[in-house]
Structure 1
């Protein structure tokens, strides 16, 4: 107190309490309020002024203490929220609402700074009502927000429309007007050297922000920045921990898959060494992958199945496409979408030679990179097994093929000691009766040979003679044998264009050479006529074979020379004189029988015969020309059936 007050004996207790109440209010008051509280005291004007100044100082100190209390309270609340929350968006929303209550403005919002795009994006708002404002993006170097980021210091305006020292953008101005904001204060959120964003407090009326308001929001922004940075670091730590766990899990799965692959490789290698087959590969791979496995040959026929069953879609178009893609890449091909129960396919290759394919079914073990490499190794092992079995079979087939060539050779010198050699291969000479050949495209000959060897495995011989797939079997009926061989080869090669020809049974081994020549010559005649899918008895075509064996293509010339005018007449006029000619030949040149067979009047037949006579000449019905024409007619019928 002043000395004058002391000389007067001090002031009353009521005056002291009143002054303490004024100081505790925490906000400066006018001088006359203090003077009113001291009106009853005996103090001069100087003492009253001195007391008023001291009270205002105390009020300022109390205001700062209150503000610090609010800041600490907000900080502690943020710390509690940080400890309790794991969701960053929810934490930011809580911080913005706390800043809203602390600043006491109409709208409070937080814009997050994007380091890549340099944009500021409104992340959370409190008090905002316009949807456009809540989704606002501020481009770089634009608006009050960018000025805060670039200056790293608080920026404010009491009237946004009159803010001319920063670039404006229509999208920002429209959003601000939609929200009705007039005065705006923005403070940066800084963590170390990094600007995380901007915290804004705004009013919908003109307002001049006091230094205390700027300081209060800045202090809270510092707390928010710490909380945000801590939250981000915690989130990154959690993400890193989760990523580490995922990496450990993937590593464990990879190690497990590698161990499983090593075990499979070891078991498959053992299968090769002990002479195992495709079924061993299928079962071993199936046990490792916990998936069914099917192995097919190059024609998609079933070779082995891990569960012993057969699949209905082995030869489907998607399976063929998947195996074709695998052949191109030499890698496992995943089927997307799956085909039936199959999820993956890999071709079995030996260089450019296609030996078949592996089809993998559905199961629990994921087909990752290691599993796919394991499937590819299994395909390689399958190729080795197939080649090994083919080599063994080829060696045996080569011996039996040499025997077959000796049996069918016209050189009698190759027949010496033949019976002993046959019995050494467990072939009884008396079982070698009927010769059958199969004619088909070269690319299918390997499959045809495999089928032929299977047919002749128990009794007979099979192999290639003069480049033709040939069998000698015990069966006696040529037509039945030809049909059986045709059906088996069709199934093995996966095609319909198979021509098989069988000869009549031989009485002795010495007759087999002539039988082979007969069926070979017959096949050449049929092939020349375009017959590529039939089961024929060579004896039925013996006359034609005798006539054209040396020059099979001469059959076409013979037909044209004998009945060419009739055929051309039919083509040019759309008639069918050749049908009448064929029936006339079959009826031994009887017009009456021909008319009855064709279901027409005899005069009609006679008129057609006259037309044929005009085309072929008057002597065509004499014995020798008629015989030749009869042969040509039957050859044409054979050629026509093939074309149909």
Structure 2
């Protein structure tokens, strides 16, 4: 195929110089066959190898040497371009493959490893790895690595401001280092450098992985020999870094989505539990409210709570006495033995004090004791609810259920106490009517007593109870529970109990029951038994006898009026009158005994009981007659010569008896 063209003519006036040969000159001067052209085209292919054999290929062509050299250079240039385009195609194919994997792969860690592997293969380095940030420390940690020969590279942590990777992250731009270990443009870290040296890395390049304005990490390619990374290689590495950014961003979003889903599931489960707990609480509250409306008891409340909470529940009154037990344990209604002091144990009392302050359940600091909540009405402690420990801890809703139950128990207690107060008031009025002026309305009293199951004709013995004023209300309440057939009330400032028993038994019974409840001194005096018509007179006798005993200092005993009747006829009931009489009559003798430890009063009593016979006195007391006579002489010295006369001796006898009754002898 002929090549045509024109040749530029030289200026004849100028000296002739040799001109460079161009493709146009070749076309003008030379001709090439079709076979030669085809051979050149085959040489240009990317897979044909170096094109230094152009002269051999075109040996049969009639071409000058300079033309052949020019053709060979052109072929090499075109062949390099074709090779570069082929490599670019291969790189683009790898990027497209990673994009497809990015769309299809659901495991971010596996996809990130594949991306690092592809970058390792295409860039042709010895090592490639990805480092991402740890929050909130700001440290870069190597997540995936390909080509490493030591286990230390994986997981190495690059502190802020250190190493090539951190320099890339902070500058948000690619950075390369031909000799990393001696590069003074990088701030080195001893631990990181030790790992790099262990890998034998010499040259490296790093590119940032960006997600908007945020740097997610760094993609690094490294060589164990000296290498200068080209712009094309950095661009390719940046493309893989962009894909790695998508992977990390996807992983982060996926983790956030999973965490959000888990949080939503947990919140939904918690909401379901709370809803169930609220429904259960509402149902329990409904049952407890119904119990109040139908006049339920503490036993019913304890049973409801024990069933819902699946543990033992006990309800105590204000004195710590058990009222109900959900476990079915017997609740003792009998009063405590004389001398026992009811009350809450120390740990429970401490928990109840805290519960009264906060209005909430409080743990009892005692093994196996569970929780306690105070039953409170206003400022008054009405009792307590104790909830034992269980296999599963109580939820906040369960605690609120117990706290609401305490309010229900307070309402029940107030209702019961209101009923009891009304009954006490009615019974107190009945007692006052029986002992007062209105007792003439006997028929009406009989009807009122009969409506409460009491037979007035059976009430034979009046009993007067004397306690400190602060205990009077509790004593009256305890008196109402002494016996079904008894009638108790308050009359003229005294607690009175009317019983069918004989005086001695009645006095002991009343004192035992009330003392066990109060845990304080109780003076009980029973009047003589008699007909219901004479109750008022016998009550007055018992009340005066009680005052007489108080005057004598006897405030914690059970007595009857029989042993004190003579003295009631002689003296008033005031302590001052009695004390003045005893002091005026026997003061010197009492003082002598007190100062010297003698027994003049005892000798005097024995003398009186022996009808003023010294001999009989000595025999009765087990003393020698001379001893008795000496003591009587001392009494004469203290009281005067006339003390044995009938009138003074009578007065001295009464004073000695009263002094003996006061417990001083």
Deviations 1:419-440 (A, max 9, x none): 6415522322343234445556
Give 1:27's aligned residue.
none
Using the alignment, how far apart are the partners of 2:298 and 2:116 within structure 1? Answer: 71
Asked if 1:501 is matched to 2:520, the reply is no
Q: Tell me which of 322, 330, 334 is aligned to 2:351.
A: 322
The alignment's TM-score, normalised by the length of structure 2, stands at 0.70
The size of the alignment, in residue pairs, is 587
Q: Tell me which of 46, 61, 66 is aligned to 2:85.
A: 61
Deviations 1:178-217 (A, max 9, x none): 3245655443222233332334455677654443443343
Query: Post-superposition shift, 1:327?
Result: 1.7
Report the RMSD for the aligned CA atoms in angstroms.
Answer: 5.1
Asked if 1:108 is matched to 2:108, the reply is no
Using the alignment, how far apart are the partners of 2:604 and 2:115 within structure 1? Answer: 109
Change in Cα spacing, 1:416 to 1:548, as seen in structure 2 (3 Å) is: closer
Asked if 1:138 is matched to 2:162, the reply is no
Give 2:293's aligned residue.
273
Asked if 1:176 is matched to 2:192, the reply is yes
Give matches, 1:193-232, under 5 Å: 193-201=213-221, 208-232=228-252
Larger mean CA deviation between 621-630 and 66-75 belongs to 621-630
Deviations 1:243-283 (A, max 9, x none): 33333333333333333344334443333333333333334
Give 1:381's aligned residue.
408
Using the alignment, how far apart are the partners of 1:516 and 1:498 within structure 2? Answer: 18
Using the alignment, how far apart are the partners of 2:210 and 2:662 within structure 1? Answer: 101
3-state SS of the aligned residue for 1:254?
A: helix
Gaps of 5+ in 2: 1-22, 60-67, 333-341, 608-613
Using the alignment, how far apart are the partners of 1:243 and 1:417 within structure 2? Answer: 80
The alignment's TM-score, normalised by the length of structure 1, stands at 0.72
Using the alignment, how far apart are the partners of 1:72 and 1:586 within structure 2? Answer: 129
Using the alignment, how far apart are the partners of 1:6 and 1:337 within structure 2? Answer: 111
Does the CA contact (< 8 Å) of 1:121 and 1:138 recur in 2? yes
Does the CA contact (< 8 Å) of 1:437 and 1:471 recur in 2? yes
Using the alignment, how far apart are the partners of 1:568 and 1:177 within structure 2? Answer: 104
Deviations 1:372-411 (A, max 9, x none): 44433333333223222222221121011122234445xx
Change in Cα spacing, 1:583 to 1:550, as seen in structure 2 (3 Å) is: closer
Give 2:363's aligned residue.
335
Does the CA contact (< 8 Å) of 2:281 and 2:401 recur in 1? yes
Using the alignment, how far apart are the partners of 1:379 and 1:285 within structure 2? Answer: 11
Q: Tell me which of 35, 43, 59 is aligned to 1:9.
A: 35
Gaps of 5+ in 1: 24-32, 570-576, 597-601, 639-644
3-state SS of the aligned residue for 1:48?
A: helix
Does the CA contact (< 8 Å) of 1:501 and 1:523 recur in 2? no
Query: Post-superposition shift, 1:225?
Result: 1.7
Give 1:573's aligned residue.
none
Using the alignment, how far apart are the partners of 1:330 and 1:152 within structure 2? Answer: 60
Change in Cα spacing, 1:567 to 1:137, as seen in structure 2 (3 Å) is: farther
3-state SS of the aligned residue for 1:299?
A: coil
Change in Cα spacing, 1:376 to 1:190, as seen in structure 2 (3 Å) is: same
Does the CA contact (< 8 Å) of 1:345 and 1:357 recur in 2? yes
3-state SS of the aligned residue for 1:356?
A: strand
Give 1:187's aligned residue.
207
3-state SS of the aligned residue for 2:315?
A: strand
Does the CA contact (< 8 Å) of 1:419 and 1:429 recur in 2? no
3-state SS of the aligned residue for 1:62?
A: helix
Does the CA contact (< 8 Å) of 2:129 and 2:142 recur in 1? no
Give 1:157's aligned residue.
177
Asked if 1:429 is matched to 2:449, the reply is no
Using the alignment, how far apart are the partners of 1:381 and 1:228 within structure 2? Answer: 59
Using the alignment, how far apart are the partners of 1:543 and 1:184 within structure 2? Answer: 125
Asked if 1:305 is matched to 2:328, the reply is no
Deviations 1:499-538 (A, max 9, x none): 2423254323134323441463266357x57x66x65667
Give matches, 1:227-626, under 5 Å: 227-310=247-330, 315-331=344-360, 333-335=361-363, 340=368, 343-361=370-388, 367-408=394-435, 413-418=437-442, 420-426=444-450, 427-437=454-464, 446-456=473-483, 458-465=484-491, 468-476=494-502, 478=504, 480-489=505-514, 493=517, 496-508=519-531, 509-518=535-544, 520-521=546-547, 524-525=550-551, 549-551=573-575, 563=590, 577=597
Change in Cα spacing, 1:108 to 1:440, as seen in structure 2 (3 Å) is: farther
